[in-house]
Amino acid sequence: MFHPLRVSEVEQLTDDSVAVTFAVPPELRETFRHTPGQHLALRRRSAGGEEVRRTYSICSPAAPEGEDPVLRVGIRLVDGGEFSTYALKELVVGDTVEVMEPMGRFLLPPRPGHFAAVVGGSGITPVLSMASTLLAREPEARFCLIRSDRTAASTMFLEEVADLKDRFPDRFQLVTVLSREEQQSGLPSGRLDQERLTALLPALLPVADVDGWYLCGPFGLVIGAERALRGMGVERGRIHQEIFHVDDGSAPAAARTASAPAPAHATLTATLDGRSGTWPVQEGESLLETVLRSRSDAPYACKGGVCGTCRAFVVTGEVRMDRNYALESEETDAGYVLACQSHPVTPEVELDFDR
């Protein structure tokens, strides 16, 4: 459910990115308490009356119980992106934005241990919340951040990350790789790919002893890092990933589920917020679109298989997904699908959005 929140701060981070902070009224304090790694779906109506939704990760540390949550998201300008253009060019303090409660399962709740992240570009955003919360709350925990960007000037949250280094010099390890700029650290410039990470990671930290790996950023970087880690024997269960951008041209076969013939007529029953309905599925539409025709409160943000907001449990029947960059294999094995990417395979399908 969306709530109108007042913008309390807009801070320019780089030429093409801002951090936006929302004021949370006391009655919504618990609704907006987040776990590090979660994101917010934001909604606005364009001048033409069309609804635009986007998800942005929360960069602020999670507030301990009893303290007011600070809701701050990082937004980077995307070419032609309607919401990010609005955020960078128009949004000012005092404006109201519709904001959904924190969501997402790319999480690092504070716990003792050694954690590491490989991030690219704006992929730093959720990881900043993870690292800052973890280091402040768990005196024994350690965090290694390997980040890549184009140039120092284009790197988001430079100051916040430097601040972590100052506050936790023994427990926070930082490695920055710039792809288009020489740097003083001795690391050569160039992209962080599987080959480079395979050489770099064992030199930085004891790979096998890391309790959780967090990979976030563009598709190529996340998949390259996952392959490098798997190649070094890291179990699948210790690797968590969130993909921020998918270039449609490079949509990988691995993210697509096998195609299956669609039935001539199919009906969908869906439960949402405790209420159920049954509707015919029109040709070519996704199950999310079927639900949205009658229930405008159906959860979604990206409609692209990336954010996971539209996750639903298949109670009966079978569906196929066009693509899936959001759900882990354990979730799909357990029966969860992305409604925005799902089409019926059986004549009757039942989805539960509440599970």
Chain residues in the site for ligand FES (CB under 6 A): 300-310, 326, 338, 340
Q: Closer CB to ligand FES, residue 171 or residue 240?
A: 240
Q: Is the dihedral of CA 101, 104, 108, 109 positive or negative?
A: positive
Q: How far is the CB of 327 from ligand FES (least distance, A)?
A: 9
Q: Closer CB to ligand FES, residue 97 or residue 306?
A: 306
Q: Closer CB to ligand FES, residue 178 or residue 339?
A: 339
Q: How far is the CB of 55 from ligand FES (least distance, A)?
A: 7
Residues forming a β-bridge with 351: 270, 314
- HSE (side-chain half, CA atoms, 13 Å) at 340: 19
Q: Closer CB to ligand FES, residue 116 or residue 281?
A: 281
Rounded to whole angstroms, the Cα distance separating 9 from 231 reads 43
Position closest to ligand FES via CB = 340
Q: Closer CB to ligand FES, residue 172 or residue 300?
A: 300
201, 117, 204, 131: which is closest to 161 by C-alpha?
131
Q: How far is the CB of 339 from ligand FES (least distance, A)?
A: 6
Q: How far is the CB of 223 from ligand FES (least distance, A)?
A: 18
Q: Closer CB to ligand FES, residue 211 or residue 289?
A: 289
Q: Which residue has the tokens 């598709």?
A: 219
Q: Closer CB to ligand FES, residue 197 or residue 307?
A: 307
Q: Is the dihedral of CA 43, 77, 240, 64 positive or negative?
A: negative
Tell me whether residue 132 is exposed, middle or buried, using C-beta atoms within 10 angstroms of its C-beta: 0 to 12, 13 to 18, 19 or more: buried
Q: How far is the CB of 41 from ligand FES (least distance, A)?
A: 9
Q: How far is the CB of 303 from ligand FES (least distance, A)?
A: 5
Tell me whether residue 311 is exposed, middle or buried, using C-beta atoms within 10 angstroms of its C-beta: 0 to 12, 13 to 18, 19 or more: buried
110, 20, 3: which is closest to 65 by C-alpha?
110
β-pairing, 319-321 vs 348-352, is unpaired
Q: How far is the CB of 242 from ligand FES (least distance, A)?
A: 12
